[in-house]
Structure formats: structure tokens, C-alpha cells
Amino acid sequence: MEQVSVLIAGGGVVGSAIACALVERGISDVCVIDLDLAGTYASSELNAGGARATWWQEVNVASCRDTIEFFREHAETFSFRPWGYLWLYEDRALFGKALERRALQTRLGLDIEVLEPREVAERFPLIDRGLEGIVGATFSPGDGLLNPNAVRRWYRERAEAGGARFLNRHYVEGIELVEQAPGRRRVERVHVVELAKSDATDEGRTIERVLTQHRVDPELALDHPSIRPGHFVNALGAWSPLLDAKLGTRSVSVPVRRQISMVDVRERDLPAGVDLKRLGMIVEPSGLYLHSEGPYVLAGYSDPAEPSGYAFHYDGDAFFTEQVWPRLAGLSSAFERCGHVRGWAGLYSVTPDCSGIVGRVAGVANAIEAHSFTGRGVMQSRAIGRGVAELIVDGRFGSLDLSPLDARRFERDRTHWVIEDLHI
Ligand SMILES: Cc1cc2nc3c(=O)[nH]c(=O)nc-3n(C[C@H](O)[C@H](O)[C@H](O)COP(=O)(O)OP(=O)(O)OC[C@H]3O[C@@H](n4cnc5c(N)ncnc54)[C@H](O)[C@@H]3O)c2cc1C
């Protein structure tokens, strides 16, 4: 049976960032397995390319701030464009909360301007409608846009150059756990996907073997090739609940579909002085966001009324006409006659407080989890990768304390949580 120091399930941006950080810490015996490294159903490949640090929970602000700093250092490689995030508010209470959180964000080193509607009109001539409903706005000039695929590729190439292996078409079929109680060594095979709450203590069980299946080879599929991991990391993104089930631990994450439309705007419809090719992120009051993407405008939105689930279909013209166009046209006359080019849909993995999960898996000594980063996985990736590598190599977080992201927070009642209301 093959043995590796660290086995990472999931080769999206998070799994790749972890592999990269491990190699940087001198651990080259790292294996990443993925069902489909091309990322057909990976959130990393379906991403909108935004990066901001204006979150409401300190750990999210700090991890995004550090990751954006890393993007800035490699701006050319990642096509990082610091064109800022403009956030428009219609709801007074929400705007008040944003101002309250600005104090925390400023303390953590961010530069955030507060704008009155008049200033929005002056500085962002594209926005020539709906200003009467706006109570205020924030603008964070250090935030920006980037190519998320280039980020994932960079992590992977660096990890591979340092010895890490990425195995495609492998999926986690089962997990063998060993009971570690004194005098007992019981091997438990879990193949059935079934949610169960674990009552084991932290040191209770260890992952003995991870049974993988190579999908394209029917013969291999019969004998379940297996890997014995020193440490095992669940970096399956929106698919992480399936692994929680195999480990017998409770999952709190749900997949939520987000759709993206590419919009064509006619040059002659633009107000004077607007360069659509340099449009940073704008978030309008109902939560639709937009920014320039090549010759088009990219607009993303999730319908809050839609039930959670593994849905990847794009609703096409119906989505554009009913959800995207009215919001865009409510913001600017430039969108009155815009066209729908195409679009796609992908999954946010959302937890009850809309923050990711990073830490040791309760009840399984050598298992670590890093998943469910809602709409934040790329912009947090460098800090998460480093943190998980530190947890494995040093036994604790070092560069940034990620312990507020430990899943055990959900065992406390919700009055202890900091809920990221603005998780887009
Ligand atoms: C439409 C959209 C827009 C977004 N916009 C932004 C944005 O602007 N900025 C930002 O930072 N974030 C954004 N996000 C969120 C971000 O993309 C995710 O948080 C991030 O990509 C998660 O990365 P991951 O590596 O955790 O998961 P994923 O990228 O989903 O990777 C998980 C991997 O696990 C593999 N896998 C699944 N099951 C198995 C199995 N059983 N065995 C082996 N492998 C398996 C999958 O093939 C996949 O490659 C957006 C997401 C979507 C959907």
C-alpha cells in the first residue's frame, strides 16, 4: 500500500494552495487526488475573479488582506487589477453595520472610503440611476480583480516543482478508521454516504487508509487502490459534506448555486468618461455584482429564495431577463439596451455563519479540513494554505490565527458567531 506524508482530497484552489505551502515548508511527500482536475464541477473554475478584504469577521479580513498582498506581489502573473470595490447601500441598518465594521477593517490596515450618493455620482459616472434610494456607499481602492485560474495554476505548478503529485480521476471511495482506545484496534470501513454525528473524542480515531477509485480503469475500480496518509486534508469545497459522511462527522455546509451572466454593452450608450474595460467591482443594493471582463461586463447573482442543492445549470435568458437586466438597468442608463452573451453557474459552499471551515476534524486525530469558503475561497487561499501547512508541520497556526474558523464553533449557540451577512 502506498504511503504519503499528506494526502489532500481536492485539487481546487484551496487544495492546491495547501500543497504549495507544504512544499514551501519542506514537505514534498504530498499527494493531491481529484475526481477531475480540469474542474468541471469545481468552484475554482467557475469563479468571478474578485478579491476584497472588507469582511466583517476579523479572521476573514486578515486572511483576505494577506492573500491580496500576495496577489499584488505577483500582479502580472495573476492579472491582478486593483480597481477597487464600490458597495452601494439602500438599507440604513446595513449601511450602519458596514460603517461599524469599517473601524475593525481600518484597524487591520485597510483603506475604506465612505461616500455620499452625490460623491458616488461624481466619481462613478456610470451610475446615473437609482441614486435617490442610496443612503451611502463604501469604496475600498486596494481591492480588485484577478484571474483565479492563474492563481490555482501557480499553486499547483509550484507544488509539483517541489515534488507534490496531483492524481487526476481519483475519487475518495472510502476511509478506513482505526479506533485508538487502549488495548483495542478496531478497523472500521465507511463506504456508505450517510450523515452521522460523531461522539468520538479528538484522539479517538485515526485514518488508516483512504481507498481511492480510479474512474477510467474498471479493473482498478475492483480492488480499491489505497493510500496510507500521515495527515489527510478534506479540501473538497462544496463536496466536503460527502467526505464528512465517510468520516462519520457532522457537516454544516450546504451548496448554493450562483449564476454569472456576461453582458454586452454598446460603447455609444456609455456616459462620457466611462471606460468599461476598467470597471472595478460594483455591488448594487440587492447583492448583484458587476465588473468588466475583457470586452464584456460580468454580472453575478444568487437568488436568496432558491433552495440549496447541487445545481449547475444556468438559467440563460430567463435569468438574465428577470434577475440581471432589471438590476443593471436600475443602476445605469448604459444597460438599457445591453445584450446577453452567455453565462454559467457554480456552487458556493455556505455555512451557517457564512465563513469557511479550517482546522482539525473533531474525533479523527490525523484529519484536517479546509473548505466551505462561500464566495471567498480564492481571495483567502494563500492564508489558508499557509495556515494548514503550519497546522501539519508545527502543530499550530503561526502566520495568522485561523482558529476562529474551527468547525467546533457551531457547537456553541449562534449568539457567539460573527455572521458574514455580506458573503457575496
Ligand atoms: C459563480 C462563483 C463565483 C465566485 N466568485 C468568487 C470571487 O469572485 N472571489 C473568490 O475568492 N471566490 C469566489 N467564489 C468562491 C470560490 O470559487 C470558492 O470558494 C473556491 O473556488 C473553493 O475552492 P476549493 O478548492 O475549496 O473547492 P473546489 O474548487 O470546488 O475544488 C474541490 C475539488 O474537489 C474535487 N472533488 C469533489 N468530490 C471529490 C471526491 N469524492 N474525490 C476527489 N475529488 C473530489 C472536485 O473535482 C474539485 O476539483 C465563487 C464561486 C462561484 C461558484
Task: Give me the percent of the chain exceeding a pLDDT of 70.
Answer: 91
- Could you tell me if residue 59 is inside a domain? no
Report which protein residue has its CA nearest ligand 1's atom 25: 12
- Could you tell me if residue 244 is inside a domain? yes
- Could you tell me if residue 131 is inside a domain? yes
User: Is residue 214 pLDDT above 90, yes or no?
Assistant: no
| Largest Cα–Cα separation, the chain | 79
- Nearest in space to 366 (alpha carbons), one of 209, 194, 174: 209
- Could you tell me if residue 66 is inside a domain? no
CB of 9 closer than 6 A to ligand 1? yes
26: left (phi over 0), alpha (psi -120 to 50) or beta: left
Record the cell numbers describing residue 194, joined without a space: 450517510
Do 154 and 243 lie in one domain? The reply is yes
- Given this model, what pLDDT does residue 423 score? 55
Alpha-carbon gap, residue 287 to 209, rounded angstroms: 44
Q: How confident is the model over 242-298, as pLDDT tens digits? A: 888 888 888 999 999 999 999 999 988 888 888 888 899 999 999 999 999 999 999
Range(s) of the domain holding residue 367:
2-46+149-253+354-416
Buried b / exposed e over 247-280, threshold 16 CB at 10 Å, is bbbbbebbbbbbbbbbbebeeeebeeebebeebb
CB of 10 closer than 6 A to ligand 1? yes
Do 36 and 155 lie in one domain? The reply is yes
Tell which one of 65, 378, 379, 420 to mutate to probe ligand 1, the residue whose CB is within 8 A of the most ligand atoms. 378
For residue 120, the domain's CATH number is 3.30.9.10
- Given this model, what pLDDT does residue 225 score? 73
In the reported structure, the alpha carbon of residue 89 is separated from the centroid of ligand 1 by a whole-number distance in angstroms of 29
Do 273 and 404 lie in one domain? The reply is no
- Could you tell me if residue 238 is inside a domain? yes
User: Is residue 237 pLDDT above 80, yes or no?
Assistant: yes
Do 245 and 373 lie in one domain? The reply is yes
User: Is residue 411 pLDDT above 70, yes or no?
Assistant: yes
Do 29 and 113 lie in one domain? The reply is no
In the reported structure, the alpha carbon of residue 357 is separated from the centroid of ligand 1 by a whole-number distance in angstroms of 14
Do 240 and 293 lie in one domain? The reply is no
User: Is residue 218 pLDDT above 90, yes or no?
Assistant: no
CB of 320 closer than 6 A to ligand 1? no
Q: How confident is the model over 355-380, as pLDDT tens digits? A: 999 999 998 999 999 999 999 999 99
- Could you tell me if residue 132 is inside a domain? yes
Task: State the chain's mean pLDDT as an integer.
Answer: 90
Let me know if 62 is exposed, middle or buried by CB neighbors in 10 A (0-12, 13-18, 19+): buried
Tell which one of 31, 34, 41, 43 to mutate to probe ligand 1, the residue whose CB is within 8 A of the most ligand atoms. 43
Contact (CB, 8 A) for 333 and 129:
yes
Do 11 and 156 lie in one domain? The reply is yes
According to DSSP, the β-strands at 165-167 and 30-33 are parallel
Domain-ending residue, one of 350, 377, 404:
350
Identify any residues that bridge with 187 across adjacent strands, giving them in sequence order: 178
Report which protein residue has its CA nearest ligand 1's atom 21: 44
- Could you tell me if residue 113 is inside a domain? yes
Identify any residues that bridge with 369 across adjacent strands, giving them in sequence order: 234, 359
CB of 210 closer than 6 A to ligand 1? no
Report which protein residue has its CA nearest ligand 1's atom 18: 377
User: Is residue 196 pLDDT above 50, yes or no?
Assistant: no
Question: From the alpha carbon of 172, which atom of ligand 1 is closest?
Answer: 42
Do 218 and 302 lie in one domain? The reply is no
- Could you tell me if residue 77 is inside a domain? no
User: Is residue 211 pLDDT above 80, yes or no?
Assistant: no
- The number of distinct structural domains making up the chain is 2
- Given this model, what pLDDT does residue 199 score? 35
Looking at this protein, which amino acid is placed at residue 407? A
Which of 153-157, 296-300, 393-397, 416-420 is least confident?
416-420
Do 175 and 211 lie in one domain? The reply is yes
Confidence class of residue 195 from pLDDT cuts 50, 70 and 90? very low
Alpha-carbon gap, residue 88 to 257, rounded angstroms: 23
User: Is residue 194 pLDDT above 60, yes or no?
Assistant: no
CB of 362 closer than 6 A to ligand 1? no
- Nearest in space to 348 (alpha carbons), one of 308, 299, 289, 382: 308
For residue 156, the domain's CATH number is 3.50.50.60
User: Is residue 200 pLDDT above 90, yes or no?
Assistant: no
Do 329 and 405 lie in one domain? The reply is no
User: Is residue 354 pLDDT above 80, yes or no?
Assistant: yes
In the reported structure, the alpha carbon of residue 309 is separated from the centroid of ligand 1 by a whole-number distance in angstroms of 15
CB of 402 closer than 6 A to ligand 1? no
Domain-ending residue, one of 325, 350, 375:
350
Question: From the alpha carbon of 235, which atom of ligand 1 is closest?
Answer: 26
CB of 151 closer than 6 A to ligand 1? no
Do 275 and 329 lie in one domain? The reply is yes
Q: Cα 69–71–77 angle (5° rounding)? A: 150
Q: Is the dihedral of CA 406, 80, 422, 315 positive or negative?
A: negative
Do 361 and 409 lie in one domain? The reply is yes
- Given this model, what pLDDT does residue 221 score? 45
Domain-ending residue, one of 350, 370, 386:
350
User: Is residue 220 pLDDT above 50, yes or no?
Assistant: no
For residues 156-176, give the mean pLDDT: 92
